[in-house]
Structure 1
Amino acid sequence: MLTAEQITNILESEYLLETAPSIDEKTEFTHISYNSNDVRANTLLFIKGYFKPEYLDEAIAKGVTAIVALDSFVHATSLPTWSVNDNLAAMSVLSMAFYDYPQNKLALIGITGTKGKTSSAYMAYEILKVATGNKVALSSTLMSITGPKPENQRRAHLTTPESLDLFMWMREAVDNGMTHMVMEVSSQAFKMERVYGLRYNVGIFLNISPDHVGENEHPTFQDYIEHKMMLFDHSEQIVLNTDSQHFSELIEHAAAAVPRDGLWLYGQYDEEDNRADVSFETVAANLQGSKFMVREENQQAGRLRIGGQYALDIPGDFNESNATAVAIATRLVGADTEAIKEGLAVVQIPGRMQMMTSKMHGTIYVDYAHNYASISALLQFVRKNETVDQLRIVVGAPGNKGVSRRPGIGQAINEGADVAYLTADDPQYEDPAAIADEIQAQITADTVVVKREMDRTKAIEQAIREAGPNDVVVLAAKGLDEYQKIKGVDTPYENDWVVAQRVVAELEN
């Protein structure tokens, strides 16, 4: 619950208030919303994004009694209105107050990076499940989990949810007895102020490479990296990858944000040039997982007491890097070494590096890899660990977002694949064939065969049917998504894993 007086005071204290309505200070609001369809009696409605004034009529009839809006919207209604200079920041600070600041009762780990956020979040989640007796919540690209019961698990629609939803789920997590929470934090979360006013006990910065530049996202790469680095400014301690691109810029910002004993550097072991506090090195690896050694390289790292050998139940040296970051972060919020070992040994990420084999049509991987960095790493990993006659990839790119990643997808194919099946991947309002043209423009190697089929199901069927017994087929980007975003509608889709399973069963039966 919030009173009118509390709303005014909070907005004034955050320098967000332009004008307050003439309303009884004791007026109570027992529900808050940013969706005119989610309204009940005594609702405070936040006006965000594109909102037609006529939508208010129906919302008022359902129980909206006041709104928070930018000054430009105020003239559209006679409702009591708090006029603010930043409606998204206002929604965040009022939402955390409405739900009684649940973040203060949770040990928070925030994870950002161009690739690896979801895998790392699930690793941290599994470790902390062991360490806390299953008292950890999760906010990821795939799922929001606020407790142990099925009704506490939801499919996610944003990497980081809207601030109102985030604080509502945090409150639900606290009420369910959760003591820790792991969050993916996207650059858009900072740009759109979904985490405005939130601080993390530990922030993990995995890596950075060009992505999310284009319409409706970041205008430039510099804007992208600056919003990523905002995690540094909102974390008590920072875990940073020394192997990341743009490390000099990252370390400069991180070092200004926290003292040195709150900055934890990790990276791949390098005997000649090791800047890391904690390093990792592969001991053994195959297509099912790996064993790797973690070393504490200095006195600061020795305080962690996490050195030793670990087993990871998902493949790829890039996942060993993520696991090392997570080991540091979870240790900083109370996990012991045994919990870290147990969590990493059993972790599975839905739709990440899922593998099936067929009798006559090779090995099929399903993965959410969706940009140059992740697709390139995946293809290189397969080349390194498989005997491959032909490496085939089925891939597309989303419409109306991430335009900058399309050439990178083509470049990754050019460097690592033998056959590419270009297809649809959430085309939205764009023509998937035109998107495929942008990807194909970067595939210049004579050794790469390009095929085009805009029906994703048919493209997967074709790729698997044409694969030989020693081929590998990579189904990239969609993972377990059960829809295609087409013209603003989430259109039902089996998902890549289900399609692959069905095709293999048909071929083998």
Structure 2
Amino acid sequence: MSTLSLQTVLQILKEDNLLKEYLVAGKWNFDPQLAPTLNFTQITYNSKKVQQDSLFFCKGLNFKAEYLDQALAQGATCYIAENIYEKANGIGIIVTDIQKAMAKIARVFFGYPDKTLTTIALTGTKGKTSTLYFILNVLREAFPGKVAMTSTEQTFLDGQTFQRSVNSTPEALDLFAMMAQARDHGMNYFIMEVSSQAYKVNRVYGLTFDYGIFLNISPDHISPIEHPTFDDYFYCKRQLLKNSRHLILNHDADYFDLLYQTAHLYTTDVSVYGSQGFAEDLTFTPHVLAKDLKITTAEEKFAKSAGDYTISLPGNFNLNNATAAITVASLLNVPQATIAKGLAETVVPGRMMQYTTPTGGVVIVDYAHNYTSVEQVVKYVQQVYPERKIGLVVGANGIKAFSRRKDFGRIITNYMDYAYLTADNPNTADPMEIIQEIKSYVTKELPIVENPQRKEIIYQAVTETDDQRVLIIAGKGTEDTQKTRRGVEPYDGDGPIVEQAITLMKARDLHE
């Protein structure tokens, strides 16, 4: 069992200039050496999970004093907060930044698990999860039973069990706990997505990754509760460049020159990949139907990775993602044949899931949830089905990423022949108001169906998809919940709903 003393906690905070003061019986103190003897056997920010001798973090914009009261009543002997709670019993530690404090203490409490793992972090506006699964599958092929990961979709820590993830990047305390669990299960590699919010709110504070992969950048997550501007969003993304020992950059990314300049200010260990030739890169050339690629390179360190590869996920954007995986696998000395086998067998939950209706229609379910990611799916459809009309089922979040509403109106205007507008985690907002806002940005005449009941509209859309159409269902992928005013509600997932609709279509045809 892990334990941590009060004096150690205070010393950690003091050394990082996070400690303001600590309170014992109402008296203010600063010197860690004067603190009473006290040991913690648990650290948590969830008042419902507090056990005896816990250190409790008062974290979150919606934190209430009653949460602290509950934690103390259940056995917490000390709390850490940014504000003093005068009426609280126990010892109080007051810090300048609760998120940074939690990250620093969690890392020590769980025994610096990042030091014993080879850590691989990915950031970018699109493609993080797909790239992560490519890397996961390749490394599991090369190092069986030694690879763990956490992604937007799933968490995999013990080499056997996939579990549903809560956040793209976990809270710092949860992240270090996951790393410790992976270490204790004998894992050697830990792959993770790093969102812009992870740096915005210090979820990965104090972590230096062995390999940092910057995939791409485009405007997204602009809202009052995320990033006020694109500049802020991009700046947060770029923090990965400061906090990785080896950097891998996509030469095809927008603002590549800025990324390249920044990377070389923090490390000389930089690799580049992309479809464009570059002095120090690994270059891919797509083949027909964007499922095959050829890797060429002038760099000796990548020489063994040159050759032909095939992936099961279609689209040039997935070739780009696969090449990022080839790059990091090459740096880890994985043989070319092993990389090829891992890539060919990679399937990503909720990404480019393709179905055929009984009437010959094509339905593609993809987690695409912003302009650029939907546009990539559209370009694949245009390449493979150039004569067919394209339709879109889409909705937008109610409390964040407000810019997506305009983006979806633009994508419909620029590419769609028809559209279905529905709900996608409306949260506390009225889904019909979101639908109307998306529609207000559509500037051409086309058929648009509106229905906030996502399952109903998917049924309708699939039924209406014949051999002259391709339907893209964007946003939720395999997500099994819908966030509404009533709370978090169960949801079947877009893929399973499409399968249900197709089954009903076949049953109907049998009875006609």
Q: Distance in 1 between matches of 2:116 and 2:321?
A: 26
Greater mean alpha carbon deviation, residues 103-112 or residues 426-435: 426-435
Task: Indicate whether 1:176 and 2:180 are aligned.
Answer: no
Select 2:200's aligned residue among 191, 195, 203: 191
Change (3 A) 1:412 1:275: farther
Deviation at 1:330?
2.3
Q: Which moved more, 1:409-418 or 1:28-37?
A: 409-418
Give the match for residue 105 of structure 2.
94
SS of structure 1 residue aligned to 2:355: strand
Pick from 36, 59, 81 the counterpart of residue 69 of structure 1: 81
8 Å CA contact 2:72–2:89 kept in 1: the answer is no
Corresponding residue of 2:30: none
- How far off its partner does 1:326 sit? 1.4
- Alignment partner of 1:15: what SS? coil
- Tell me, in whole angstroms, the C-alpha distance in 2 between the residues paired with 1:195 and 1:94: 12
**Structure 2 residue aligned with 1:16:** 18
CA contact (8 A) 1:370 1:409 kept: no
The equivalent residue for 1:460 is 458
Q: Is the 8 A contact 2:251 2:276 kept in 1?
A: no
Give yes or no for contact 1:304–1:328 (8 Å, CA) kept in 2.
Answer: no
Distance 1:361 1:394, change over 3 A: farther
Residue 136 (structure 1) aligns with: 147
For 1:281 and 1:387, locate their aligned partners in 2 and report how far apart those are by CA, in whole Å: 22
**Match 2:487 to one of 486, 489, 493:** 489
SS in 2 for 1:429: coil
Q: Cα–Cα, structure 1 residues 61 and 331, in superposed 2: closer, same or farther, change >3 Å?
A: same
Instruction: Decide whether the 8 Å contact of 1:187 with 1:227 is kept in 2.
Output: yes
Q: Which amino acid aligns with 1:105?
A: T
Instruction: Report the counterpart of residue 294 of structure 1 in structure 2.
Output: 295
The answer (yes or no) to whether the contact 2:358–2:505 under 8 Å persists in 1 is no
How far apart in 2 are the matches of 1:144 and 1:303?
Answer: 30
Would the aligned equivalents of 2:282 and 2:302 in 1 still touch at CA under 8 Å? no
Q: Contact (CA 8 Å) 2:357, 2:466: kept in 1 or not?
A: no
Cα separation, partners in 2 of 1:242 and 1:149, compared to 1, 3 Å: closer
SS in 1 for 2:138: helix
Letter of the structure 1 residue corresponding to residue 76 of structure 2: V
Contact 1:31 1:42 in 2 (8 A): yes
Describe the superposition over 1:417-474 as per-residue Cα deviations: whole angstroms up to 9, x where unpaired. Answer: 211101000001111122122222222133x322211111111111112222231111
Using a 3 Å threshold, how does the CA distance of structure 1 residues 223 and 76 change in structure 2: closer, same or farther? farther
Shift of 1:395: 0.4
Say if 2:369 and 2:475, in contact at 8 Å, map to a contact too. Answer: yes
- After superposition, residues 388-407 of structure 1 pair within 5 angstroms as 388-407=387-406
Match of 1:236 among 242, 245, 253: 245
Cα distance in structure 1, aligned partners of 2:85 and 2:221 = 33
SS at match of 2:47: coil
Q: In the alignment, is the contact (CA less than 8 A) between 1:354 and 1:366 conserved in 2?
A: yes
Alignment partner of 2:257 out of 216, 239, 248 = 248
2:286 alignment partner in structure 1: 282
Identity across matched positions, percent:
36
How far apart in 2 are the matches of 1:333 and 1:40?
A: 42
- Deviation of 1:388 (Å): 4.3
Q: Distance in 1 between matches of 2:76 and 2:287?
A: 61
The answer as to whether partners of 1:217 and 1:402 remain within 8 angstroms in 2 is yes
- Whether the aligned pair in 1 keeps the contact of 2:357 and 2:465 (CA below 8 Å) is no
Corresponding position of 2:271: 264
Question: Which blocks of at least 5 consecutive residues in structure 2 are unaligned?
Answer: 25-33, 508-512
Equivalent position amino acid for 1:60 in 2: L
Aligned length: 495
Unaligned runs of 5+ in 1: none
Q: What residue number does 2:52 align with?
A: 41
Residue pairs, 1:490-509, within 5 angstroms = 490-509=488-507
- Amino acid corresponding to residue 491 of structure 1 in structure 2: E
TM-aligned CA deviation for residue 154 of structure 1: 2.0
2:69 maps to a residue whose letter is D
Root mean square deviation, CA, Å: 1.6
Q: 1:234 is matched by which residue type in structure 2?
A: N
- Find the aligned partners of 1:488 and 1:117 in 2 and give their Cα distance: 31
Q: Tell me the distance in 2 between the aligned counterparts of 1:335 and 1:167.
A: 27
**Which residue pairs with 2:43 in the alignment?**
32
Q: Which moved more, 1:123-132 or 1:434-443?
A: 434-443
CA contact (8 A) 1:3 1:25 kept: no
Partners of 1:76 and 1:186 in 2: CA distance: 37
Aligned to 1:2: 4
1:199-348 pair list within 5 angstroms: 199-259=208-268, 262-269=269-276, 274=278, 277-285=281-289, 290-297=291-298, 299=299, 302-303=301-302, 305-348=304-347
SS at match of 2:287: strand
Question: How far off is 1:354 after superposition?
Answer: 0.6
